């Protein structure tokens, strides 16, 4: 339903500060193609992921990603080859975005939200490793940082909370850049 897609884009107030990713194995699904076209018209950056080349979705998007998989083993079951390939594309894309945004530091998801005991333990381990401190220091820094791992790393390295917050803010919340600046590298 192309009309519903255009309405959804409008209702979401998609604009120049947004990225819209459309995924359709065939590359011609009306809803997906219309959503990408409407988002692009609204100024958003658009990405189309399809499993067939030379399709409307790939042409309508600013960036078309072809995950050519050929025909399915079982006709009509796009979850097998096409769906698996699309999931791999989206995993790679989201990982690249996280890396680019500074949400990952040396292979660790430092922007992880701590929501349970297991993740708390994982966060403390990251702080121990990155800041080169013991578990008690990491736990204390994490408490002082309000469960924010990036902030806790800087606190564990000797900054007070306000200085750590300022340093992260000055470096776009990018831990690598903040550590570099704290060491005199930026």
The residue ranges of every structural domain in the chain are 2-100, 106-182
| pLDDT for residue 95 is more than 80 | yes
**CATH-assigned architecture of domain 106-182:** Orthogonal Bundle (1.10)
pLDDT, tens only, 23-37: 999 999 999 999 999
Residue 184: pLDDT over 90: no
CA angle, residues 129, 130, 133, in degrees to nearest 5: 60
Domain 2-100 identical in fold to domain 106-182 = no
Average the pLDDT over 97-113 and give the result: 92
Cβ atoms of residues 22 and 32 within 8 Å: yes
Confidence of residue 185 (pLDDT cuts 50, 70, 90): low
Q: Is the pLDDT of residue 101 over 90?
A: no
For residue 52, what pLDDT band results from cuts at 50, 70 and 90?
very high
- In this prediction, residue 186 carries a pLDDT of 46
Name the CATH topology of 2-100: Rossmann fold (3.40.50)
What is the average pLDDT across 3-24? Answer: 98
When pLDDT is averaged across residues 154-177 and rounded to a whole number, the result is: 96
Q: Distance of alpha carbon 118 from its chain centroid, rounded?
A: 22
Mean pLDDT of all residues in 148-173: 97
**What does pTM read for this prediction?**
0.78
Q: Which contacts of 137-145 are long-range, i.e. CB under 8 A and separated by 24 or more positions? A: 142/114
Mean pLDDT across the chain: 95
The SS3 of residue 185 is: coil
């Amino acid at each position: 339903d192309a009309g519903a897609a255009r309405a959804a884009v409008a209702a979401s107030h998609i604009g120049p500060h947004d990225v819209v990713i459309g995924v359709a194995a065939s590359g011609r699904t009306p809803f997906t193609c219309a959503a990408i076209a409407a988002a692009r018209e609204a100024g958003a950056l658009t990405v189309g992921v399809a499993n067939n080349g030379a399709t409307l979705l790939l042409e309508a998007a600013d960036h078309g990603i072809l995950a050519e998989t050929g025909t399915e083993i079982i006709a009509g079951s796009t979850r097998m080859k096409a769906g698996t390939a699309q999931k791999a594309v989206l995993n790679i894309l989201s990982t690249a975005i996280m890396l680019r945004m500074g949400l990952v530091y040396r292979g660790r998801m430092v922007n992880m939200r701590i929501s349970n005991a297991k993740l708390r333990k994982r966060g403390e381990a990251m702080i121990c490793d990155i800041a080169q401190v013991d578990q008690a220091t990491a736990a204390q820094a994490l408490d002082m940082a309000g469960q924010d791992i990036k902030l806790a790393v800087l606190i564990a390295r000797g900054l007070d909370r306000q200085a750590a917050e300022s340093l992260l803010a000055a470096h776009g919340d990018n831990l690598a850049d903040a550590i570099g600046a704290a060491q005199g590298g930026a």
